[in-house]
């Protein structure tokens, strides 16, 4: 069945592309988890919030418009200007850094040396707060996000595969672009963590808070930095997902898909987040294609979790997770 | 007298401090001590006497453990330092080597050392020179520079911890329990390096140690803590000859061995008197 095989190949490629987006969200988790031991449940909502803010700034929406209108009886919704995409992305980044600062200042600074479960609960609270806050700030309607990323079928690949295989592959330009961005992002992050002073300090904080304090590393600074980085990754993920499927609240649910990705790749590994994302994206598309129809379809909803469950049983630290160093 | 390296100038002055953890647990009940420039000052006492807490109060690592200095003052070079951040103190030249080494396990030995220079705006050349200086004192670390610190031995980790502190170019090193979990031979080696650093490079040490015997051999001056109070202090040579110290901390006595029960009751009575 060469035809089946070719379709399968196309599904595989598309799965890989979808996996890149999972990987982007997972990356944000890994960053924060590595540096502060906090499992940030709010990462997905941060992606949503970033995307909402970006759309809001681009369209010149008045923040808190509904709130202002219902209090003062006014009818303002827009400033009436449009901000170019590049500038809007910069401004959104400023907002994400401010968010990182505020989260650290008002929440995690007061929870230093607390149990991980307490920090985790705090991030759940943060997730719900941020979801509601984004709603009040920018409104809850589904928005279209277009920052000028290329979209639609990639003609070159379509043409080339048609020439070779006699069947043109449908690969979305946006997915290709997302892949390139993700690769660049990961490369930059790894270089930053391995070879710069602040990156080294970040890894030191991840290993031992107290020791890091004792050599004069400021935990507050490192945490704000890490949350800002995570905010940046969330922004990139938000732009990609938002462009693909519109900015809406279901966006925050992709955070849940990042969980199995992390279990596969390991919570502490940047490459793990990427490989895990690709495997899950690829796996769920292939599974749906090959077996899905035989068992009633909609396997994409649960495939990732079952795979993660298997990993938890047989390799709990994930594919690339740090081995726990234990000297005897 | 072992007073050779000491000068009259006092670097660190701890005046009658009281430390409370979690707003309720009173750990230090009025500890006073002074650390002269260029000396090795030892802080002695058993488990829970308050040695570590005293060091952490000075380096300001207490706050991250919900501890607080509620009374008294801590001055470094005459300047009040108890409201500063740990990083400010490191910049002033006071750095703590924590009990139990606390290396960054997943960083290599060399990366561990480099984190010590975090607060310095030094050029790469200067930092490389300092790295070489540390490797000269600890040749073992040079051999293992590329290994992950988590996989090195206890003695090597203690060297990493001390070397890391040296990389900050400190004036005073607060050294907490360097002998912990090390073989006697290694303990001797570590203390010899401390002595060399003190004599040749002029580093000032404040040393918390349970191993009274070793500490009193290398230190110039000693303070003995019990239940959060200084119960005795004096030049190390005098303390070594003091009959009470001999009996309680060095395990020697003129009257031969005593039953544990006698020692306990004697100790209790004596403690209230001192």
Does the beta-carbon distance from A218 to B89 stay under 8 Å? no
φ/ψ of B170, rounded to 5, equals: -80, 170
Tokens of residue B183, six digits: 């073989």
By C-alpha distance, the chain B residue nearest A208 is: B104
By C-alpha distance, the chain A residue nearest B92 is: A216
Residues of chain B neighbouring A200 (CB-CB closer than 8 A): 107, 111, 114-115
Q: How far apart are CA A248 and CA A115, in angstroms?
A: 33
Q: What is residue B80's predicted lDDT score, i.e. its pLDDT?
A: 94
Q: How far apart are CA B17 and CA B73, in angstroms?
A: 6
Q: How far apart are CA B42 and CA B16, in angstroms?
A: 18
Q: What is residue B206's predicted lDDT score, i.e. its pLDDT?
A: 96
Q: How far apart are CA A38 and CA A268, in angstroms?
A: 11
Tokens of residue B21, six digits: 């953890």
In the stretch 25-44 of chain B, residues with CB closer than 8 A to chain A read none
Does the beta-carbon distance from B115 to A214 stay under 8 Å? no
Tokens of residue A243, six digits: 């462009």
Q: How far is A276 from chain B (nearest CA, A)?
A: 22
Q: What is residue B253's predicted lDDT score, i.e. its pLDDT?
A: 65
As a whole number, mean pLDDT of residues A145-173 equals 82
Does the beta-carbon distance from A210 to B102 stay under 8 Å? yes
Interface ipTM > 0.90: no
Residues of chain A neighbouring B89 (CB-CB closer than 8 A): 216
In the stretch 65-104 of chain B, residues with CB closer than 8 A to chain A read 65-66, 85-87, 89-91, 95-98, 102-104
Does the beta-carbon distance from A216 to B91 stay under 8 Å? yes
Q: How far apart are CA B166 and CA B133, in angstroms?
A: 9
Share above pLDDT 90 across residues of chain A, in percent, rounded to a whole number: 28
Domain boundaries, chain B: 10-93+170-241, 104-167
Spatial neighbors of A303 by CB under 8 A, at least 6 apart, are A283, A284, A287, A288
φ/ψ of A278, rounded to 5, equals: -65, -45
By C-alpha distance, the chain A residue nearest B176 is: A214
Does the beta-carbon distance from B98 to A214 stay under 8 Å? yes
**Which residue of A207, A209, A217 is in closest CB contact with B105?**
A207
Residues of chain A neighbouring B115 (CB-CB closer than 8 A): 200-201, 204, 212, 215, 217
Q: What is residue B266's predicted lDDT score, i.e. its pLDDT?
A: 46
Q: Are B69 and B55 in contact (CB under 8 A)?
A: no
Please write the tens of the pLDDT for every residue from A267-311: 888 888 889 999 999 999 899 888 888 888 788 888 999 998 998
Q: Are A34 and A322 in contact (CB under 8 A)?
A: no
Contacts of the segment A311-317: beta carbons below 8 A, 24+ positions apart:
A311/A263, A311/A264, A312/A263, A317/A266
Q: What is residue A324's predicted lDDT score, i.e. its pLDDT?
A: 59
Tell me which residue of B194, B228, B249 sits closest to B41, measured CA to CA: B194
Does the beta-carbon distance from B65 to A211 stay under 8 Å? no
- Chain A contact probe: residue of B22, B87, B97 with most A CBs at under 10 A: B87
Q: How far apart are CA B251 and CA A77, in angstroms?
A: 82
Inform me whether the pLDDT recorded for A208 exceeds 70.
yes
* Element spanning A158, H or E: helix A155-165
- Chain B contact probe: residue of A195, A204, A216 with most B CBs at under 10 A: A216
Regions of chain B short of the pLDDT cut 70: 1-8, 253-274
* Element spanning B216, H or E: helix B212-218
Other CB atoms within a 10 A radius of the CB of residue A146 amount to: 11
Residues of A with CB under 8 A from a CB of B: 112-113, 197, 200-201, 203-204, 206-219, 322, 325, 327
Please write the tens of the pLDDT for every residue from A228-240: 999 999 999 899 8
- Helices A43-58, A116-138: crossing angle, 10 deg rounding: 20
Does the beta-carbon distance from B104 to A210 stay under 8 Å? no
Place of tokens 């955070």: A255
* Element spanning B259, H or E: none
- Chain A contact probe: residue of B81, B115, B123 with most A CBs at under 10 A: B115
Kindly write down the DSSP assignment for every residue of A56-121, as one continuous string. Answer: HHHTTBPTTHHHHHHHH-----B-S----HHHHHHHHHHHHHHHHHHHHHHTGGGGTT--HHHHHH
Residues of chain B neighbouring A209 (CB-CB closer than 8 A): 64
Q: What is residue B132's predicted lDDT score, i.e. its pLDDT?
A: 95
By C-alpha distance, the chain B residue nearest A203 is: B107
Q: What is residue B7's predicted lDDT score, i.e. its pLDDT?
A: 54
- Integer CA distances (angstroms), A24 to A16, A123, A261, B136, in order: 13, 19, 10, 45
Going by their DSSP bridges, the two strands B67-76 and B79-80 should be labelled as antiparallel
Please write the tens of the pLDDT for every residue from A106-137: 998 888 777 888 989 999 999 999 999 998 99
Q: How far apart are CA A219 and CA A199, in angstroms?
A: 13
Does the beta-carbon distance from B111 to A210 stay under 8 Å? no
Q: What is residue B246's predicted lDDT score, i.e. its pLDDT?
A: 82
Q: How far is A267 from chain B (nearest CA, A)?
A: 15
The B94-97 sheet, strands edge to edge: B94-97, B172-176, B204-209, B40-44, B221-226, B229-235
In Å, the largest CA–CA distance within chain B is: 61
By C-alpha distance, the chain B residue nearest A323 is: B106
Tell me which residue of B99, B98, B42, B64 sits closest to A111, measured CA to CA: B64
Q: Is the dihedral of CA A120, A121, A124, A128 positive or negative?
A: negative
Does the beta-carbon distance from B106 to A207 stay under 8 Å? yes
Q: How far apart are CA A63 and CA A285, in angstroms?
A: 39
Q: What is residue A165's predicted lDDT score, i.e. its pLDDT?
A: 78
> Which CATH code fits B10-93+170-241?
3.40.50.300
**Which residue of B66, B98, B168 is in closest CB contact with A216?**
B168
Size of interface A-B (CB pairs under 8 A): 84
Does the beta-carbon distance from A214 to B65 stay under 8 Å? no
Please state the separation of Cα B254 from the chain's center in Å: 31
SS3 content of chain B, % helix, strand, coil (to 5): 40, 25, 35
Q: What is residue A328's predicted lDDT score, i.e. its pLDDT?
A: 53
Q: Are A259 and A40 in contact (CB under 8 A)?
A: no
Rg (CA), chain B: 19
Q: How far apart are CA B30 and CA A82, in angstroms?
A: 65
By C-alpha distance, the chain B residue nearest A214 is: B96
Kindly report the average pLDDT of chain A as a whole number: 86
As a whole number, mean pLDDT of residues A14-29 equals 86
């Amino acid at each position: 069945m060469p035809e089946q095989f070719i379709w399968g190949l196309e599904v595989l490629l598309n799965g890989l592309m979808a996996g890149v987006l999972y990987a982007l969200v997972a990356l944000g988790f890994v960053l924060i988890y590595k540096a502060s031991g906090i499992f940030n449940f709010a990462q997905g909502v941060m992606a949503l919030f970033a995307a909402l803010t970006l759309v809001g700034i681009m369209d010149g929406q008045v923040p808190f418009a509904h709130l202002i209108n219902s209090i003062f009886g006014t009818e303002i919704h827009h400033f009436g200007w449009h901000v170019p995409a590049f500038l809007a992305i910069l401004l959104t980044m400023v907002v994400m850094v401010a968010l990182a600062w505020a989260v650290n200042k008002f929440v995690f600074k007061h929870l230093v040396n607390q149990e991980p479960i307490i920090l985790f609960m705090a991030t759940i609270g943060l997730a719900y707060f941020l979801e509601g806050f984004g709603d009040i700030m920018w409104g809850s309607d589904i928005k279209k996000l277009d920052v000028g990323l290329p979209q639609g079928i990639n003609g070159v690949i379509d043409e080339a595969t048609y020439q070779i295989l006699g069947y043109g592959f449908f690969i979305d330009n946006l997915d290709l672009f997302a892949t390139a961005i993700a690769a660049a992002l990961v490369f930059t992050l790894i270089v930053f963590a391995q070879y710069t002073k602040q990156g080294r300090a970040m890894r030191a904080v991840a290993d031992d808070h107290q020791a890091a304090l004792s050599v004069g590393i400021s935990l507050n600074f490192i945490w704000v930095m890490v949350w800002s980085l995570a905010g940046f990754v969330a922004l990139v993920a938000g732009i990609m997902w938002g462009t693909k499927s519109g900015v809406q609240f279901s966006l925050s649910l992709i955070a849940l898909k990042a969980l199995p990705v992390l279990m596969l790749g390991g919570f502490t590994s940047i490459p793990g987040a990427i490989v895990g994302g690709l495997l899950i994206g690829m796996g769920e598309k292939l599974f749906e294609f090959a077996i899905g129809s035989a068992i009633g379809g909609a396997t994409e909803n649960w495939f990732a979790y079952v795979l993660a469950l298997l990993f938890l049983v047989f390799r709990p630290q994930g594919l690339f997770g740090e081995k726990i160093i234990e000297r005897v | 007298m072992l007073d050779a390296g000491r000068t009259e100038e006092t670097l660190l002055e701890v005046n009658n401090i009281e430390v409370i953890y979690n707003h309720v647990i009173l750990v230090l009940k009025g500890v006073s001590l002074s650390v002269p420039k260029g000396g090795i000052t030892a802080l002695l006492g058993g488990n829970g006497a308050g040695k570590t807490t005293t060091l952490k109060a000075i380096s300001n690592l207490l706050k991250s453990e919900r501890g607080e200095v509620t009374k008294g003052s801590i001055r470094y070079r005459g300047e009040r330092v108890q409201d500063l951040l740990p990083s400010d103190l490191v910049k002033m030249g006071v750095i703590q080597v924590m009990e139990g080494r606390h290396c960054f396990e997943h960083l290599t030995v060399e990366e561990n050392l480099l984190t010590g220079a975090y607060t310095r705006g030094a050029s790469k050349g200067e930092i490389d020179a300092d790295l070489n200086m540390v490797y000269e004192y600890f040749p073992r670390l040079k051999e293992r520079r590329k290994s992950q610190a988590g996989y090195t031995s206890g003695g090597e980790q203690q060297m990493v911890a001390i070397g890391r502190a040296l990389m900050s170019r400190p004036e005073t090193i607060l050294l907490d329990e360097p002998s912990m979990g090390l073989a006697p031979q290694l303990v001797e080696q570590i203390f010899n390096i401390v002595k060399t650093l003190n004599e040749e490079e002029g580093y000032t040490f404040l040393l918390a140690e349970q191993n009274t015997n070793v500490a009193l051999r290398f230190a110039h001056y000693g303070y003995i803590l019990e239940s959060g109070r200084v119960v005795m202090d004096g030049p190390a040579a005098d303390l070594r000859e003091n009959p009470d110290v001999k009996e309680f901390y060095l395990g020697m006595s003129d009257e031969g061995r005593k039953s544990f029960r006698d020692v306990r009751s004697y100790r209790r009575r004596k403690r209230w008197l001192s």
